[in-house]
A = this chain, B = another copy of it.
Amino acid sequence: MVDSRFFQKPAPASISDIVTLTGVEVVFAGSQTPDLSRRFSDVAPLDKAQADDISFLDNIKYADAFALTEAGACFVRRKFADRAPKHLVLLITEEPYFAYALIARHFYSDTVFTPEISAKAHIAATATIGKGARIDAGAVIGEQAIIGDDCWIGANTSIGDGVVIGKKCSIGALCTISHTMIGDRVTLHRGIHIGQDGFGFAPGRKGIVKVPQLGRVMIGNDVEIGSGTCIDRGAGPDTIIGDHCKIDNLVQIGHNVQLGKYVIIAAQCGIAGSTQIGDGAMLGGQVGISGHIHIGSGVKVAAQSGIMTDIPAGSTYGGSPAIPVKDWHRQTIAVANLLKKKETSE
């Protein structure tokens, strides 16, 4: 199913291999002949999969596609097993998407690249480039910059003076990075801007003065950041992105913001300066968060919410201004009821 222009054909995997990788229970339903050596050649969505493909059902919205799938095998929760077509080998797990991800990664391992420093890259004499690195055409590496082993720096990307990038990082094309220290195994997609001046202006009776932005951006290990995202450097303190954070496209992160570990931020969120977000927090798309506030660990925020005050750890908020999500849903209903009352009295 996968377009060979863009992806290399994977080596096949047997059902035994799948069990070893994912720990699923295998069910050969109906009159199927149990055969753990049966091999599958690819993964595919339910509606496009063929007999040699493995698929998954994670969202109940796709139950109909599951019932009709021509896939050979499918990761699925036990409770949906009885909806399966008779030919399907069931790979039973309570985490079908997670198991799918593991097998998909088995088929399609992280991009392997040939180390090569393009003659058309512009690398400062004092920069240090690690072993096994690939630097594409038009990339600019500044003075005293350090690029770790096995990094890939994309075309026309600009790495500023003094920037340090750890090992096995992938920096996409057309990024700009300055005033920044990056850990290991970090993936930046394309068109990301990190380390520019924060929006720091001091208004006074004599006009507006630009405030020098004297901090850095510190990015931990295993971070992934989406295309078009901007992260301003600190004003004095640093802007900090903790280990394992996953940040989607077109997100704005202001100066001095501190993200804990495993924070997940969906597309187009904006986090104003000096706000702190605890470990494992999750923000839906287009959320806005005011400056100088504290979001506790494990907090979840509904899409498009506006956070103006501190939020205690573990809570779920929604709305603008945001309130506990249960109250938000009840308010939505109460406001809708205003119309019903009016209709009744009309």
Question: Which A residues form the contact surface with B (CB < 8 A)?
Answer: 1-3, 5-7, 43-45, 47-48, 59, 61, 95, 97-98, 100-102, 104-105, 107-108, 118, 120, 122, 136-138, 140, 144, 154-156, 158, 161-162, 164, 172-174, 176, 178-179, 189-191, 193, 196-197, 199-206, 208-212, 214-216, 224, 226-228, 230, 232, 236-237, 244, 246, 248-250, 252, 254, 262, 264, 266-268, 270, 272, 285-286, 288, 290, 292, 303-304, 306, 308, 320-321, 323, 327, 330-332, 334-336, 338-339, 342
CA distance A153 to B68 in the complex (A): 44
- Contact at B250–A199, with CB atoms within 8 Å? no
- Contact at B203–A196, with CB atoms within 8 Å? no
The list of the 7 closest CB pairs from A to B, nearest first, reads A98-B204, A5-B162, A101-B202, A193-B227, A334-B338, A101-B209, A176-B190
A158 neighbours in B (Cβ, 8 Å): 154-156, 173-174, 190
A59 neighbours in B (Cβ, 8 Å): 292
If the complex has contacts A6-B162, A189-B196, are A176 and B176 also in contact, measured as CB distance less than 8 A? no
Tally of this chain's copies: 3
If the complex has contacts A137-B140, A208-B262, are A246 and B216 also in contact, measured as CB distance less than 8 A? no
- Contact at B285–A270, with CB atoms within 8 Å? yes
If the complex has contacts A252-B268, A267-B254, are A214 and B331 also in contact, measured as CB distance less than 8 A? no
If the complex has contacts A209-B98, A212-B105, A288-B285, are A193 and B156 also in contact, measured as CB distance less than 8 A? no
Q: Name the CB-closest residue of B to A262.
A: B208
Return A205 CB to nearest CB of chain B, in Å: 7
A244 neighbours in B (Cβ, 8 Å): 208
Q: Name the CB-closest residue of B to A55.
A: B236
Most buried by B among A107, A202, A203, A254: A202
A196 neighbours in B (Cβ, 8 Å): 172, 189-190, 226-227, 249
